[in-house]
Amino acid sequence: MRKALGIVLVAGCVGATVPQGQQQSWTGLLSDSVCAGSHQATALARGLTDRQCMFECIKALAKYVLVDGKGQVIPIANQDLPGFPLYLGRPVRVIGEMTGNALTVSRVEAIAAHLHLGHVMTNWRDTPQNVGFLIAAISDANVAAIHARLALPAADDLAEMKLHAGHVLHALDPAIEPRGPASGYGVKKAVTGALQHLEFAVQGEGSTANIKTHAASVSASLNNVLQWTDRAIAIAQQIQSAASATDAAPLVAELVRLTTAITDGKDASDSGSAGSPNGEGGLRQAQTQMALLMKGEGLQNAPR
């Protein structure tokens, strides 16, 4: 089973050192009483992931337990807390009190690192439909790429090129152009938020080697996107200021290249495909790396 790296008991030791009847906070891995902290052999023999093995154990009437960073198994007195199935197999923070030698849990929640990963991929409070920052960025970047391409057939129509350049601007940064067909959130704001919360995840409680490794690749791609976004904004503004269709046409071609790089990355090394390193990764590569990161953390359905 994947070890709960960096996870420690934060409210003192279990037993006499923990005051009875007093609310405390613990972090650890929510597991089951059959396999506790050592699912690997059982899961492998049954062809299951660690988390699937835990669910099978619970179905077979095992009990929920908390395994702290030292491998100590802490029994849980109340087994019917609604959040347990969602967080099974994941590092968690629990709030509760010791009753005898068992923990009565009043609340279970994701650790800080996982919460911030969820903000990148699954939910944030002010994005359109409260999606994750990366999903908001991808949605608006696709709109920008579509309208950059729509400007190409209008190579002899300056007004049409300027119209679509404005739509690209709106999708990239609605603070510059407030009207257009995108969500009104903007690639630049969404990517900035994703980078911020990735850093929070790396620095936060419960961060693992898996998070740090994949976050570095994701951040590299997102920083590429920010650079290309700034360049695309400048090009779109030049198109809007162009005096003739002849002046605007090559700028439109460059805008197409930049918005394509934002969505799909670019093959800077001429290897036949775009990747995360060497300034190549875009939003598609960032999403792929985030999916690997989330899978490694057991967060395909990330807690909110």
Cα separation, 8 vs 25, whole angstroms? 11
Q: Spell out the domain ranges in the chain.
A: 24-110, 114-296
What pLDDT, on a 0 to 100 scale, did the predictor assign at position 272? 67
Cα separation, 191 vs 167, whole angstroms? 19
What pLDDT, on a 0 to 100 scale, did the predictor assign at position 39? 66
Cα separation, 40 vs 249, whole angstroms? 60
List per-residue pLDDT tens for the chain, 304 residues long: 333 333 333 333 333 344 455 789 898 889 999 988 776 677 777 788 777 888 999 999 999 999 987 889 999 999 999 989 988 888 888 999 988 899 999 999 989 999 999 999 999 999 999 999 999 999 999 999 999 999 998 878 999 999 999 999 999 999 999 999 999 999 999 999 999 999 999 999 889 899 999 999 999 999 999 999 999 999 999 999 999 999 999 999 999 999 999 999 987 666 667 665 568 999 999 999 999 999 888 775 444 4
Which amino acid is located at 76 in the chain? I
Which residues, at least 6 apart from 153, have a Cβ–Cβ distance to it below 8 Å? Answer: none
Q: State the distance between the two ends of the chain, measured CA to CA, in whole angstroms.
A: 24
Cα separation, 278 vs 266, whole angstroms? 10
The tokens describing 56, both together, are 């099978």
Expressed in percent and rounded to 5, the helix, strand and coil fractions of the chain are 50, 10, 35
What pLDDT, on a 0 to 100 scale, did the predictor assign at position 302? 44
- Tokens 């093995």 correspond to 53
What pLDDT, on a 0 to 100 scale, did the predictor assign at position 73? 93
What pLDDT, on a 0 to 100 scale, did the predictor assign at position 277? 56
Cα separation, 98 vs 82, whole angstroms? 19
224-245 b/e with 16+ CB inside 10 Å = b?
bbeebbebbbebbbebbebeeb
What pLDDT, on a 0 to 100 scale, did the predictor assign at position 45? 78
The tokens describing 253, both together, are 């071609």
